[in-house]
């Protein structure tokens, strides 16, 4: 066969190869576009979850801060009233023993107990009943603040699930 006789076959083969290559390239482009669209949808979903989490966090933190401010106000009010409820006369009548102060401070983690109790019944210098009320009231206030913080944290964890 001559080249002229083979030419229609060669052109047909060439056209088929071009069409096949174009189709392959088009399919690859469509797959790539589809993958990019899927990735974009995934990013949108992640951003929606992040936004919902941020909104929940803001709501919980605002509520927690408001509750802590309220507890602090209540604690301040109680401590401010100590002179009304624990008078100077009551301070003078009630001697706070040194042993009580040692135990209280050790329980609060402020200091270690002395090796010997020594004269535990001796008066604690500068510590009257009103000071005990102030420290205990402050400690209870701190405890209530911590409880509110824990409630807020628990609510935040529940909101993230």
Structure tokens at 57: 């966090």
Confidence of residue 35 (pLDDT cuts 50, 70, 90): confident
- Higher pLDDT pick, 107 / 9: 107
Domain limits of the chain? Answer: 3-160
Assessment of whether the complete model's pTM goes beyond 0.85: no
Closest CA to 68 of 155, 156, 133, 150: 150
Q: Give the span between the Cα atoms of 49 and 118, in whole angstroms.
A: 63
Q: Which positions ≥6 away from 123 have C-beta within 8 Å? A: 95, 96, 97, 98
Q: Give the span between the Cα atoms of 153 and 68, in whole angstroms.
A: 13
For the segment 90-106, what is each residue's pLDDT rounded down to a tens digit? Answer: 999 999 999 999 999 99
Work out the number of other CB atoms within 10 angstroms of the CB of residue 87: 13
Structure tokens at 30: 């469509």
């Amino acid at each position: 066969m001559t080249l002229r006789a083979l030419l229609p076959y060669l052109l047909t083969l060439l056209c088929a190869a071009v069409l096949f290559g174009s189709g392959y390239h088009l399919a690859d482009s469509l797959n790539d576009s589809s993958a990019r669209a899927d990735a974009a949808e995934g990013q949108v979903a992640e951003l929606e979850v992040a936004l919902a989490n941020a909104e929940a966090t803001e709501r919980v933190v605002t509520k927690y801060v408001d509750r802590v401010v309220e507890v602090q106000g209540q604690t301040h009010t109680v401590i401010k009233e100590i002179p009304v409820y624990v008078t100077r006369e009551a301070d003078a009548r009630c001697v706070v023993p040194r042993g009580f102060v040692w135990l209280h401070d050790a329980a609060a983690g402020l200091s270690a107990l002395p090796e010997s109790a020594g004269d535990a019944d001796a008066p604690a210098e500068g510590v009257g009943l009103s000071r005990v009320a102030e420290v205990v009231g402050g400690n209870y206030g701190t405890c209530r603040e911590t409880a509110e913080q824990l409630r807020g944290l628990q609510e935040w964890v529940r909101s993230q699930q």
